[in-house]
Amino acid sequence: MEAQGLVRLSSRVWLREVELDSYGVRGAVVAGSEAAAVFDSLSHPRDMAVVARLLAGRRVIVVYSHADWDHVWGTAGLPGARVVAHEAAARRFAADVPRTLARTRAAEPGRWEGVVLTPPDETFRERLRLDLGGVTLELSHLPGHTPDSIVGFVPEEGLLLAGDTVETPLPCLAEDGPLEAWIAALERWEGDARVRRVVPAHGPCGGPEIIGQTLGYLRALRDGCPPLLPEALTDFYAATHRDNLRIAAARRADGQCSGR
């Protein structure tokens, strides 16, 4: 199986990368002998056209890393796929997901007409193991970026699909995402010797060291200390950083750097 528009990572893993207006987004395909999992359908059904060609005739399971628009709007490009996500993601399909689509369609008429919101068919709370035939995708809840965020681990490949839980130069905090639980979960993955390759949805891929970079940033925010950052941030990341500082400051009682 070969295809243009996909980056081949191994004999059974491909990456799909798409540029949006101010940042890029990345999904992944993990193909076994029985089924193929598509980790995020990205922002438009056309983002999935190359994936649909790659997986023609195969059983397809779409997994949502979380229900933010740039990860779930492309599912109509994979007709017949079963959709799996965290149970909190399913609730978002009755709340902010349709609101975001309506707002975006109003702001950019014509651009998003092909998008069909596709809620999950199956949900889980802590963990779900998908046996794809010779290769496994182990899903685990990792709240923080959003309450419904998950990661996918492929033990046969030493591959962690991190969604938006790991991001360089910096991740995006949600107003209602738990920061301590996010840090604790990433610390477990950073210390997991099985993880050799980390693929986030935004920013560069790498090894466990990119988990460490996100951890350093999150700990600094938690402790009220200035995070280490590259000198030149894009407008998008500069704005995200300002929002993160505001959210983190509102959560700390004393507002002082505790130096932890």
Applying CB under 5 A, which residues contact Zn ion? 68, 70, 164
Please give the full DSSP string across 97-115, using - where no structure is assigned.
Answer: HHHHHHHHHHHSTTTTTT-
CB of residue 193 vs Zn ion: minimum separation in angstroms? Answer: 28
Q: Which is nearer to Zn ion, 118 or 146 (CB)?
A: 146
Element (H, E) at 140: strand 136-141
Q: Which is nearer to Zn ion, 70 or 157 (CB)?
A: 70
What number of H helices and E strands is found in the chain? 7, 12
CB of residue 23 vs Zn ion: minimum separation in angstroms? Answer: 8
Q: Which is nearer to Zn ion, 136 or 244 (CB)?
A: 244
CB of residue 70 vs Zn ion: minimum separation in angstroms? Answer: 5
Residue nearest to Zn ion (CB): 164
Q: Which is nearer to Zn ion, 157 or 164 (CB)?
A: 164
How many CB atoms neighbour CB 253 within 10 A?
Answer: 5
CB of residue 201 vs Zn ion: minimum separation in angstroms? Answer: 5
Residues 6+ apart with CB under 8 A from 167: 200, 201, 202, 203, 214
φ, ψ for residue 17 (rounded to 5)? -120, 135
What is the rounded CA–CA span in Å between residue 183 and residue 176?
15
